[in-house]
Structure 1
Amino acid sequence: MLWQIILAAVLALIAGVALGFFIARKYMMNYLKKNPPINEQMLKMMMMQMGMKPSQKKINQMMSAMNKQVK
């Protein structure tokens, strides 16, 4: 009887951890999709600070490369 209660508690704990992990992962993926960490303007500013003169073509290439890495 006692071992059944302990087994049920352990299984519930494992299920809760797994469910919490997947919910948190889904939330973070949706958050990052809606609020990307770097946008075109930030990328342009970074390139200018590094001494580069960014063209729109170069910015688009870098943004698409970063978006491919995220997916």
Structure 2
Amino acid sequence: MSTGLMMVLVAVIALAVGLVGGFFLARNSMKSYLQKNPPISEEMMKSMMMSMGQKPSQKKLNQMMAQMKQQQQKK
């Protein structure tokens, strides 16, 4: 009886450790992916501005991208 209970306890502990470890591993991997590949690129920003009727200059695009990177680093 005690061996079966011990096996169930070990299985539950292993499952909990695996879930917690997997969560933090996935979270860390997603953070690094988003830092390397931001969700909005310069081309997307350019097309967004053009669709709103603005003619984006390179200086304005650089400013907006710098602001976005700054906001991401604050988080």
> Which of the five TM-score ranges fits, normalised by the shorter chain?
0.7 to 0.9
Larger Rg: 2
Once the two structures are superposed, the pairs formed by residues 13-32 of structure 1 within 5 Å of their partners are 13-32=15-34
Once the two structures are superposed, the pairs formed by residues 1-71 of structure 1 within 5 Å of their partners are 1=2, 2-71=4-73
Following TM superposition, where does structure 1 have runs of at least 4 consecutive aligned residues deviating by more than 3 angstroms?
none
Distance in 1, matches of 2:12 and 2:71, equals 37
- Give the letter aligned to residue 10 of structure 1: V
Larger mean Cα displacement after TM superposition, 24-33 or 46-55: 24-33
Deviation string for 1:8-67 (max 9, x for gaps)? 111111110111111111221222222222111221111011111222232122212221
- Give the letter aligned to residue 41 of structure 1: E
How high is the TM-score relative to the length of structure 2? 0.75
**Larger RCO (CA within 8 A; separation ≥ 6):** 1
Q: % of aligned pairs identical?
A: 55
Q: CA RMSD in A?
A: 1.7
Structure 2, unmatched stretches of 5+, are none
Structure 1, unmatched stretches of 5+, are none
Q: CA deviation at 1:6?
A: 2.2
